[in-house]
Protein backbone atom coordinates (compact mmCIF):
# COMPACT_ATOMS: atom_id res chain seq x y z
CA UNK A 1 0.00 0.00 0.00
CA UNK A 2 2.82 2.40 0.83
CA UNK A 3 4.39 1.78 -2.57
CA UNK A 4 1.05 2.48 -4.29
CA UNK A 5 0.68 5.73 -2.37
CA UNK A 6 4.20 6.82 -3.30
CA UNK A 7 3.44 6.32 -7.00
CA UNK A 8 0.21 8.34 -6.91
CA UNK A 9 0.49 11.79 -8.53
CA UNK A 10 -2.27 13.06 -6.20
CA UNK A 11 -2.08 12.21 -2.50
CA UNK A 12 -5.67 12.44 -1.22
CA UNK A 13 -5.40 13.76 2.37
CA UNK A 14 -8.84 12.67 3.64
CA UNK A 15 -8.49 9.20 2.12
CA UNK A 16 -5.08 8.76 3.70
CA UNK A 17 -6.39 10.05 7.03
CA UNK A 18 -9.26 7.51 7.04
CA UNK A 19 -6.79 4.76 6.11
CA UNK A 20 -4.53 5.89 8.95
CA UNK A 21 -7.36 5.69 11.47
CA UNK A 22 -8.27 2.16 10.36
CA UNK A 23 -4.66 0.99 10.50
CA UNK A 24 -4.01 2.68 13.85
CA UNK A 25 -7.06 1.01 15.41
CA UNK A 26 -5.92 -2.36 14.08
CA UNK A 27 -2.35 -1.92 15.38
CA UNK A 28 -3.64 -0.67 18.71
CA UNK A 29 -5.72 -3.82 18.97
CA UNK A 30 -2.52 -5.82 18.55
CA UNK A 31 -0.76 -3.80 21.27
CA UNK A 32 -3.73 -3.26 23.59
CA UNK A 33 -6.23 -6.02 22.75
CA UNK A 34 -9.92 -5.27 23.06
CA UNK A 35 -12.91 -7.44 22.36
CA UNK A 36 -14.44 -7.09 18.90
CA UNK A 37 -17.77 -8.00 20.47
CA UNK A 38 -17.62 -4.77 22.50
CA UNK A 39 -17.61 -2.50 19.42
CA UNK A 40 -19.13 -4.54 16.57
CA UNK A 41 -22.35 -3.53 14.82
CA UNK A 42 -24.83 -5.47 16.97
CA UNK A 43 -28.46 -4.38 16.27
CA UNK A 44 -29.94 -5.74 19.50
CA UNK A 45 -27.37 -3.99 21.70
CA UNK A 46 -27.79 -0.75 19.79
CA UNK A 47 -31.61 -0.77 19.95
CA UNK A 48 -32.18 -2.21 23.39
CA UNK A 49 -28.93 -1.29 25.13
CA UNK A 50 -28.54 2.14 23.53
CA UNK A 51 -24.91 1.33 22.73
CA UNK A 52 -24.81 3.99 20.00
CA UNK A 53 -21.00 4.07 19.73
CA UNK A 54 -21.19 0.80 17.78
CA UNK A 55 -22.71 2.66 14.83
CA UNK A 56 -19.34 4.39 14.30
CA UNK A 57 -16.62 2.31 15.96
CA UNK A 58 -17.58 -0.93 14.20
CA UNK A 59 -16.48 0.53 10.84
CA UNK A 60 -12.87 1.02 12.00
CA UNK A 61 -12.34 -2.48 13.41
CA UNK A 62 -11.30 -5.41 11.20
CA UNK A 63 -11.34 -9.11 11.88
CA UNK A 64 -7.77 -9.81 10.72
CA UNK A 65 -4.85 -8.49 8.67
CA UNK A 66 -6.28 -9.73 5.35
CA UNK A 67 -9.62 -8.05 6.05
CA UNK A 68 -7.84 -4.79 6.78
CA UNK A 69 -5.54 -4.98 3.73
CA UNK A 70 -8.37 -5.76 1.32
CA UNK A 71 -10.51 -2.90 2.61
CA UNK A 72 -7.65 -0.38 2.69
CA UNK A 73 -6.65 -1.27 -0.89
CA UNK A 74 -10.22 -0.67 -1.98
CA UNK A 75 -10.42 2.55 0.06
CA UNK A 76 -7.24 3.92 -1.52
CA UNK A 77 -8.50 3.32 -5.06
CA UNK A 78 -12.07 4.54 -4.58
CA UNK A 79 -11.29 7.31 -2.12
CA UNK A 80 -8.60 8.87 -4.32
CA UNK A 81 -11.02 9.16 -7.25
CA UNK A 82 -13.92 10.52 -5.22
CA UNK A 83 -11.81 12.97 -3.24
CA UNK A 84 -10.09 14.35 -6.33
CA UNK A 85 -13.45 14.76 -8.09
CA UNK A 86 -15.53 16.13 -5.19
CA UNK A 87 -12.91 17.82 -3.03
CA UNK A 88 -11.64 16.89 0.42
CA UNK A 89 -14.41 18.53 2.45
CA UNK A 90 -17.24 16.98 0.43
CA UNK A 91 -15.51 13.59 0.49
CA UNK A 92 -15.34 13.69 4.30
CA UNK A 93 -19.04 14.61 4.46
CA UNK A 94 -19.83 11.79 2.03
CA UNK A 95 -17.86 9.29 4.11
CA UNK A 96 -19.63 10.29 7.33
CA UNK A 97 -23.03 10.12 5.59
CA UNK A 98 -22.36 6.68 4.11
CA UNK A 99 -21.06 5.30 7.40
CA UNK A 100 -23.95 6.47 9.56
CA UNK A 101 -26.73 5.84 7.04
CA UNK A 102 -25.52 2.36 6.01
CA UNK A 103 -25.24 1.25 9.62
CA UNK A 104 -28.60 2.80 10.53
CA UNK A 105 -30.24 0.96 7.63
CA UNK A 106 -28.58 -2.27 8.81
CA UNK A 107 -30.04 -1.87 12.30
CA UNK A 108 -33.47 -0.94 10.93
CA UNK A 109 -33.58 -3.93 8.57
CA UNK A 110 -32.52 -6.29 11.37
CA UNK A 111 -35.31 -4.89 13.57
CA UNK A 112 -37.84 -5.22 10.72
CA UNK A 113 -36.81 -8.84 10.18
CA UNK A 114 -37.36 -9.58 13.86
CA UNK A 115 -40.78 -7.92 13.80
CA UNK A 116 -41.91 -10.13 10.89
CA UNK A 117 -40.29 -13.23 12.38
CA UNK A 118 -37.84 -13.82 9.51
CA UNK A 119 -34.05 -13.94 9.72
CA UNK A 120 -34.39 -13.17 13.42
CA UNK A 121 -30.73 -14.09 14.02
CA UNK A 122 -29.79 -10.84 12.23
CA UNK A 123 -30.53 -8.96 15.46
CA UNK A 124 -27.68 -10.85 17.12
CA UNK A 125 -25.08 -10.47 14.34
CA UNK A 126 -21.74 -8.85 15.12
CA UNK A 127 -20.36 -7.08 12.02
CA UNK A 128 -17.13 -5.10 11.68
CA UNK A 129 -15.18 -3.40 8.91
CA UNK A 130 -15.30 -0.49 6.48
CA UNK A 131 -16.97 -2.54 3.74
CA UNK A 132 -20.40 -0.89 3.88
CA UNK A 133 -18.83 2.52 3.22
CA UNK A 134 -16.74 1.06 0.39
CA UNK A 135 -19.84 -0.29 -1.33
CA UNK A 136 -21.41 3.13 -0.91
CA UNK A 137 -18.34 4.68 -2.58
CA UNK A 138 -18.70 2.26 -5.47
CA UNK A 139 -22.35 3.15 -5.97
CA UNK A 140 -21.49 6.87 -6.03
CA UNK A 141 -18.56 6.30 -8.41
CA UNK A 142 -20.39 4.19 -10.97
CA UNK A 143 -23.99 5.39 -10.78
CA UNK A 144 -25.28 6.25 -14.23
CA UNK A 145 -21.95 5.53 -15.91
CA UNK A 146 -22.33 4.57 -19.60
CA UNK A 147 -18.99 2.73 -19.61
CA UNK A 148 -18.52 -1.03 -19.71
CA UNK A 149 -16.24 -3.10 -17.50
CA UNK A 150 -14.71 -6.55 -17.91
CA UNK A 151 -16.20 -8.85 -15.28
CA UNK A 152 -14.51 -12.25 -15.56
CA UNK A 153 -14.60 -12.14 -19.35
CA UNK A 154 -18.06 -10.54 -19.58
CA UNK A 155 -18.53 -6.91 -20.57
CA UNK A 156 -21.11 -5.44 -18.21
CA UNK A 157 -22.26 -1.85 -17.62
CA UNK A 158 -20.15 -0.24 -14.92
CA UNK A 159 -23.25 1.00 -13.10
CA UNK A 160 -24.16 -2.62 -12.26
CA UNK A 161 -20.73 -3.62 -10.94
CA UNK A 162 -21.52 -3.00 -7.28
CA UNK A 163 -24.46 -5.42 -7.51
CA UNK A 164 -22.35 -8.10 -9.19
CA UNK A 165 -19.59 -7.66 -6.59
CA UNK A 166 -22.19 -7.92 -3.85
CA UNK A 167 -23.17 -11.39 -5.07
CA UNK A 168 -19.64 -12.50 -5.95
CA UNK A 169 -18.10 -11.55 -2.59
CA UNK A 170 -20.91 -13.34 -0.76
CA UNK A 171 -20.14 -16.50 -2.76
CA UNK A 172 -16.34 -16.30 -2.42
CA UNK A 173 -16.39 -15.16 1.21
CA UNK A 174 -19.42 -16.65 2.96
CA UNK A 175 -18.47 -14.93 6.23
CA UNK A 176 -18.80 -11.51 4.60
CA UNK A 177 -21.88 -9.54 5.61
CA UNK A 178 -24.24 -9.58 2.63
CA UNK A 179 -26.68 -7.33 4.47
CA UNK A 180 -23.94 -4.89 5.47
CA UNK A 181 -22.73 -4.57 1.88
CA UNK A 182 -26.28 -4.18 0.60
CA UNK A 183 -26.94 -1.42 3.12
CA UNK A 184 -23.80 0.33 1.89
CA UNK A 185 -25.15 0.31 -1.67
CA UNK A 186 -28.49 1.69 -0.45
CA UNK A 187 -26.68 4.41 1.51
CA UNK A 188 -24.82 5.36 -1.66
CA UNK A 189 -28.11 5.66 -3.51
CA UNK A 190 -29.55 7.84 -0.74
CA UNK A 191 -26.46 10.04 -0.91
CA UNK A 192 -26.95 10.56 -4.64
CA UNK A 193 -30.66 11.30 -4.22
CA UNK A 194 -30.55 13.21 -0.95
CA UNK A 195 -31.09 16.65 -2.50
CA UNK A 196 -34.14 15.46 -4.45
CA UNK A 197 -35.53 13.58 -1.43
CA UNK A 198 -35.03 16.48 0.97
CA UNK A 199 -36.48 18.94 -1.55
CA UNK A 200 -39.54 16.75 -2.08
CA UNK A 201 -39.99 16.31 1.67
CA UNK A 202 -39.63 20.07 2.21
CA UNK A 203 -42.24 20.82 -0.44
CA UNK A 204 -44.68 18.34 1.06
CA UNK A 205 -44.22 19.78 4.55
CA UNK A 206 -44.63 23.32 3.21
CA UNK A 207 -47.84 22.30 1.41
CA UNK A 208 -49.23 20.66 4.54
CA UNK A 209 -48.28 23.65 6.69
CA UNK A 210 -49.83 26.05 4.17
CA UNK A 211 -53.07 24.08 4.05
CA UNK A 212 -53.27 23.92 7.83
CA UNK A 213 -52.61 27.67 8.13
CA UNK A 214 -55.30 28.40 5.54
CA UNK A 215 -57.85 26.29 7.43
CA UNK A 216 -57.01 28.03 10.70
CA UNK A 217 -57.37 31.46 9.11
CA UNK A 218 -60.72 30.56 7.57
CA UNK A 219 -61.92 29.28 10.93
CA UNK A 220 -60.83 32.46 12.75
CA UNK A 221 -62.01 35.04 10.22
CA UNK A 222 -65.34 33.46 9.27
CA UNK A 223 -68.16 35.34 11.08
CA UNK A 224 -70.23 33.20 13.36
CA UNK A 225 -73.71 32.50 11.97
CA UNK A 226 -76.52 32.22 14.54
CA UNK A 227 -78.40 28.99 14.48
CA UNK A 228 -81.83 29.08 12.88
CA UNK A 229 -83.73 28.11 16.04
CA UNK A 230 -81.97 30.73 18.10
CA UNK A 231 -82.69 33.42 15.49
CA UNK A 232 -86.38 32.52 15.47
CA UNK A 233 -86.64 32.74 19.28
CA UNK A 234 -84.97 36.13 19.25
CA UNK A 235 -87.43 37.41 16.63
CA UNK A 236 -90.41 36.12 18.70
CA UNK A 237 -89.21 37.90 21.83
CA UNK A 238 -88.73 41.07 19.87
For 149, phi then psi, to 5°, come to -135, 150
Tell me the C-alpha distance between 219 and 96, whole Å.
Answer: 46
Tell me the C-alpha distance between 95 and 92, whole Å.
Answer: 5
Tell me the C-alpha distance between 98 and 108, whole Å.
Answer: 15
Any catalytic annotation for residue 170?
Answer: no
Give the other-Cβ count within 10 Å of 86's Cβ. 15
How would DSSP label each residue in 101-153?
Answer: HHHHHHHHHHHHHHHHTSSGGGGG--B-SSHHHHHHHHHHHHTT---EEEETT
Helix, coil or strand: residue 156: strand
Any catalytic annotation for residue 131?
Answer: yes
CA 228-231-234 angle, 5° bins: 150
Contact 130, 22 (CB under 8 A): yes
The residue annotated as part of the active site, out of 131, 200, 214, 237, is: 131
The residue annotated as part of the active site, out of 58, 181, 199, 214, is: 181
160 beta partners: none
What are the catalytic residues? 131, 181
Amino acid sequence: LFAQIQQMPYKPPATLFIMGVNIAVHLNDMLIPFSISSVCLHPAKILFGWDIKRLVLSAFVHADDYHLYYNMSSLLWKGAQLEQTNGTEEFLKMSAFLLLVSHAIYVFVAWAFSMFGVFTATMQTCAVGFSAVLFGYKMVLNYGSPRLSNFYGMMVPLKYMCWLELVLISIITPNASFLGHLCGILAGWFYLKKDVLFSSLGNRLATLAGGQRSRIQRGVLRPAQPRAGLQQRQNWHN
